[in-house]
Amino acid sequence: MTARDDDSAPLIVLGAGGHAKVLIDALRLAGRRVLFAVDADPARHGGSVAGVSIRGGDDLVLSQAPADVLLVHGLGSTRQCEDRLRLFDRMKQHGYRFARVVHPSAVVSPTAHLAEGAQILAGAVIQTDAVLEDDVIVNTNASVDHDCRVGRHSHVGPAACLGGGVRVGERTHIGAGATIIQYRTLGAGVLVGAGAVVVRDLPDGVTAYGVPARIVPAEPR
């Protein structure tokens, strides 16, 4: 069998924490088949997450032929996205592909483009001609309006709002409840704090908090 990104492809979940649990719930509601989960923490091996067995570490994935399965990126992204990027790229180098996950309650325009591994969670809205690049998370009740583009491995947090035409660089984290007004640009590696309101463009690598959002010294990671 050759795996396609459709309902017939069996899935392996990478990670066994809270984000993985939410994804497994969405996958079940969408009628998807999950084979097992893996996790880098040996203490979790032999346990389960949301009723799915955790069979070992990431290397266990390599026992499955890339043509036979799709992967689901269950590693969460809170303040930085580099760990997600490294795991994604490692599995891509081995020839694996990542499934898109779309919760049945999400609203996704037929003209939106969801790239490989994009995750759209419960209550999220993706409007017309929006583009989500590889491995983007649009979390619970977040909205991405018309003509936005969100770069690879970025995370739009719960209830965050991107106005029309917003550009978001790679590896950027937009905190819960933040608002990015229309036609603003966020660089790569930006951290926008929870509840912030971004009214100006933000360059690469900065941290911004507040209403309106102001650039502040980055906290140690």
Assigned domain for 215 exists: no
- The CATH number of the domain holding residue 23 is 3.40.50.20
Contact, 54 vs 45, CB < 8 A?
yes
Same domain for 134 and 65: no
Percent of residues, the chain, with pLDDT higher than 70: 93
Q: Check pLDDT > 60 for residue 5.
A: no
pLDDT value of position 3: 46
Residues 203, 104: one domain? yes
Shared domain check, 191 and 140: yes
The one-letter code for the residue type at 95 is G
The catalytically annotated residue of 19, 73, 103, 146 is 146
Q: Is 19 a catalytic residue?
A: no
Instruction: Work out how many domains the chain is built from and give that number.
Output: 2
Q: Is residue 221 part of a domain?
A: no
Domain extent, residue 59, equals 11-99
Which domain CATH number covers 175?
2.160.10.10
Q: Residue 102's closest CA among 6, 1, 2, 4?
A: 6
Residue 95 has pLDDT above 50, yes or no: yes
Same domain, 90 and 104: no
pTM for the full predicted model? 0.94
